[in-house]
Amino acid sequence: MLGLSRAEAKARLIALDRFEASERLLDFVPIAWHVLEPVQVYVPSYATEAICEHLEAVTYKWINRLLITVPPGSSKSLLSSVFWPAWEWGPRYMRSMRYLTTAFNDGPVKRDTRKMRDLVASPWYQDRWPRVRLVRSGETSFANSYTGNREGVPFGSLTSQRGDSLIVDDPHSTETAESPAERKTTVRKFREGAINRLNDQELSAIIVIMQRLHEGDVAGEILANDMGYTHLCLPMEYDPKTFIMSGKVLYDPNKRNAIGFKDKRTQDGELLDPVRFPLKVVEQLKKDMGPYGYAGQYDQRPVPRAGGMFQREWFNNKIIRPSAVPAGTVWWRHWDLAATKKETAAYTAGVRMGKTPDGRYIVAHAMRFQEEGLTVRANIKQQAQLDGYATSISLPQDPGQAGKVQKTDMIAGLAGFVVAAMPEMGDKAHRAEPFAVQCEAGNVFLVEGEWNTPWLDEVCNFPGGKFKDQVDASVGAFARLVHAPVQAISGSYGR
């Protein structure tokens, strides 16, 4: 600068940096970027802007529960686990803030802890905010001279620390989210342990930032149970349709969230970041990852837009009134049995399906419940009485002696009805293929009822959805109608 010494010019530039970075995280990130990424040029994006806006809302106490679901490559870890806490300590003068950060294993935990430590300890940062002096500096833990600290722990070790802000960055790995047992364990630890890791139960913040990996992942749990989180959802390709699961709205792109944010994109398929992820790259990602992986991780819907093995559009204009069911339709209700009534377990599901005289198939009713033993038997018998004697009953038979005993016992309790039991062979997806073919051909209709939406949700998420019980029951009923119809017992629609 003209007329200033080199030291004075440096001080002026530092003061300018401090001023620009003080109010907005979005201004701090490009100024600080070169410290961590001296080679890679900072490229601003819509995703970066939106993420920063929501993290700022936490800083300014507008919200204290935040869920961000964004594609890989959105700089989510750098923004939430590195730049944001460094911005609060320095430009925002929140030097005593304590952060507890976690990820699915210690790899990303160590990586991001080191990055924030290196940023805060850098000459660039210390020139501008010299009071934020590190007095303890470890690979996963460091502290400043104002008692502020940052602790990084793997998600499974979350029980030993506390913080003013808990940052949960990708609690699932791509492997554990696909394992039902591991996924449920992660969700349970989040629900039972995260809230207990806060210094102030009312005021401390929880930020969950991740890509969707499964319908039943941590983000799915937050959304399905209305846990009070402001949700920023940024799919790679804009989808104007509301995301509904089991009759519940999980994300509506047409509504503003708690801080007034709404996706500015309006065109179906409009890309999130056409500079870093142009259409050619996106199309290659779809090929490389397959429809399920891409739908969850990049479009933030853990089921492909068009559906899974079953596509929702196949059932457009296929819902009929009970009066439209033709006489002479042959009926079976197949039961898929679960062993426990735990909330996290599978359901016992029963689907009533008929075959019309002209060869079409009608799904007339679906039900499911989580019960055990005698209650299951009582519910099945009660439903048989509602269906009437014109509906034959099909049960699966587990292999081994225990399955034979269960078969004998359940059939004995359904005296007067036509009941059959047989083992189920092959994997679920393979067994479902013949039914899917008929659905795609337009040969499957649904009788109008409250069960339609939850049945369609589960079927159209198959095989990637959390539950498959109604699918199994539907496939079982269809198989009976195809391979063992009881022509002599055909009758009215019934229940």
Over the stretch 262-274, which tens digit does the pLDDT of each residue have?
999 999 999 999 9
Instruction: Identify the weakest region by mean pLDDT among 3-12, 212-221, 348-357.
Output: 3-12
What's the N-to-C CA distance of the chain in angstroms?
85
Mean pLDDT of 92-115: 94
State how far the Cα of 156 lies from the Cα of 158, in Å rounded to an integer.
6
Q: Let me know: does 282 contact 295? Beta carbons within 8 Å.
A: no
Percent residues over pLDDT 70 in the chain? 87
For strand 149-154 and strand 165-169, is the pairing parallel, antiparallel, or unpaired? Answer: unpaired
User: Comparing 301 with 116, which gets the higher pLDDT?
Assistant: 116
Is the pLDDT at 487 greater than 50? The verdict is: no
Q: What confidence score (pLDDT) does residue 327 get?
A: 93
The pLDDT tens digits of the residues spanning 48-100 come to 999 999 999 999 999 999 999 999 999 999 999 999 999 999 999 999 999 99
User: Comparing 248 with 277, which gets the higher pLDDT?
Assistant: 277
Q: What is the torsional sign of CA 110, 111, 115, 121? A: positive
Q: What confidence score (pLDDT) does residue 490 get?
A: 43
Residues 6+ apart with CB under 8 A from 130: none
Domain ranges of the chain: 6-297, 312-483
Mean pLDDT of 215-235: 93
- Buried residues in 357-390 as b, exposed as e (16+ CB within 10 A): eeeebbbbbbbbebeeeeebbebbbebbeebeeb
The pLDDT tens digits of the residues spanning 452-470 come to 999 998 898 887 677 889 9
Mean pLDDT of 243-247: 70
Architecture of domain 6-297: 3-Layer(aba) Sandwich (3.40)
The pLDDT tens digits of the residues spanning 174-224 come to 776 667 788 888 999 999 888 889 999 889 999 999 999 888 899 999 999
Is the pLDDT at 367 greater than 90? The verdict is: yes
- What does DSSP assign to residue 124? H
Mean pLDDT of 321-339: 92
CATH of domain 312-483: 3.30.420.240
Q: What confidence score (pLDDT) does residue 428 get?
A: 79
The pLDDT tens digits of the residues spanning 408-464 come to 778 888 888 999 887 777 777 778 888 988 998 999 999 999 999 999 988 988 876
Mean pLDDT of 40-46: 91
Concatenating the DSSP letter of every residue in 368-421 gives EE---HHHHHHHHHHHHHHH-TTEEEEEE--SSHHHHHHHHHHHHTTTTS-EEE
Residues 6+ apart with CB under 8 A from 265: 238, 272
Q: What confidence score (pLDDT) does residue 275 get?
A: 92
User: Comparing 339 with 197, which gets the higher pLDDT?
Assistant: 197
State how far the Cα of 177 lies from the Cα of 39, in Å rounded to an integer.
34
Report residue 289's pLDDT band, with 50, 70 and 90 as the boundaries.
confident
Is the pLDDT at 343 greater than 60? The verdict is: no
How far CA 137 is from CA of 113, 141, 145, 389, in Å, comes to 10, 7, 12, 75
Q: What pTM did the predictor assign?
A: 0.70
Report residue 489's pLDDT band, with 50, 70 and 90 as the boundaries.
very low
| Whole-number average pLDDT of the chain | 87
Is the pLDDT at 484 greater than 90? The verdict is: no
